[in-house]
Amino acid sequence: MANIFILFLFYYPLVMGIIWIIGSLIYYVKKEKDYNFPEYSSEESPFVSLLIPAFNEEQTIEETIRYASKLNYPNYEIIVINDGSKDRTLEILSSILDSYPKLRIVNVVSNKGKANALKQGVLASKGEIIATIDSDAILDKDALKYVIPHFITPNNGERVGAVTGNPRIRNRTNLLSKIQLVEYASIIGLIKRTQRVLGKVMTVSGVFVVFRKKALLDAGMWDTDLVTEDIGVTWKLQRRFWDIRYEPKAVCWMLVPESIKGIWKQRLRWTQGGIEVILRHRGIFLDWRQRRLFPVYIEQILSVLWAIIWFISTIIFIYQLIFLHQFLMPTMWIGNYISFICLMQFFVALFIERNYEQGILKYLLWGIWYPIIYWHINALLVIMALPKGLMILKRNKKQFATWESPDRGLHL
């Protein structure tokens, strides 16, 4: 049995790494490298409602609105949903309201979570297309120009329910933020490209995603009881057979945590949310029409299982090293091979992403720290998140998963 676990530890990331590398290269060559976006006139441009949910964002909200007001797109509005902020967020919004003609404010008296805030924004929106960005994000001025053609092109455009953008890291103060820069490009970017080649995605990027309002209403919008609203709505849309696409040219600059505590809180929420969605949608195997979601679901189960086995094997390795002075578990050579595949992923991803950020290849060396730091953190996160995620089986769907303003980095 131990040998089976060792083989799984080795072959699972090896096989998945190769799949992600090949899949991303296929996507790059077929859909990204030389793709020319169709031209469309201002009259053809659908009206877009840009939603910005905010809770205690006095440090970033004005900057986000300032950049959101300068998009190269003719028809849109900006709706900020203040979700019961306790700081000066509402005061700042009120003071700048007259300075930005496109800006509207929705004030939710008490904090009921990001999902509920987005729902309130949809109800107040005028557009047939709903874009959402985080309240610390800077949206590239051409982002909507690259996204909107997915919804209006004759080639299956009516089936498109959502298009997720390409999040980029803008704070690079310390080692942790630089590692995340490589991670977002090489892990998240590669996976989304590969999943699009296969047809289904695990999740849209909540920092910037654009929806068809009709699709959101058809799927029942966001689940207010889930801690990760972006994963939940992704699965609801796909189970209703809406197509979800990835547009790497639609860049959005975001802030990431730059402390262990901040990363821990963020990743614990992500891990818990992934487990919650897996459990909530476990019934997909009873419906053959959902078969294209099977690989994504199974891959998530295997990733959780791999993290658990990795954590247990690490504990055993440390025990043998300290107390038995033995190396019976060959985790070191396994780690070396996996690290090599990981670095190959980093190189391929940064090679592709150099089209969106010049000089990004220089961050390749920072990726060396990723297997050392993040694998152990992620394995421990799965152990900690499992009990929290399992609570969804008993949770009342009508309750609200409230939120906290996350760590925005050392520079703030």
52-66, 213-227, 390-404, range with the lowest pLDDT: 390-404
Q: Give the neighbor-by-neighbor strand order of the sheet with 103-108.
A: 103-108, 76-83, 48-54, 129-133, 208-212, 160-169, 243-254, 138-139
Q: Where are the domains of the chain?
A: 2-25+287-393, 46-257
pLDDT at 55: 93
What the block records as the tokens of 104 is 């509207």
CA angle 186, 60, 269 (to 5 degrees): 50
Architecture of the domain made up of 46-257: Alpha-Beta Complex (3.90)
Cα 124 from Cα 350, distance rounded (Å): 40
> pTM of the full predicted structure?
0.90
pLDDT at 249: 92
CA–CA distances in Å: residue 210 to residues 56, 165, 223 = 24, 8, 17
Q: pLDDT tens, 146-180?
A: 999 999 877 666 899 999 999 988 888 888 888 88
6-20, 53-67, 196-210, 320-334, range with the lowest pLDDT: 320-334
- Contacts of 391 by beta carbon, 8 Å cutoff, 6+ apart: none
Cα atoms in the 13 Å half-sphere on the side-chain side of 31: 17
Q: pLDDT tens, 268-286?
A: 888 888 899 899 999 999 9
Return the DSSP state at 187: I
- Tell me if 386 sits within 8 A of 275, measured CB to CB: yes
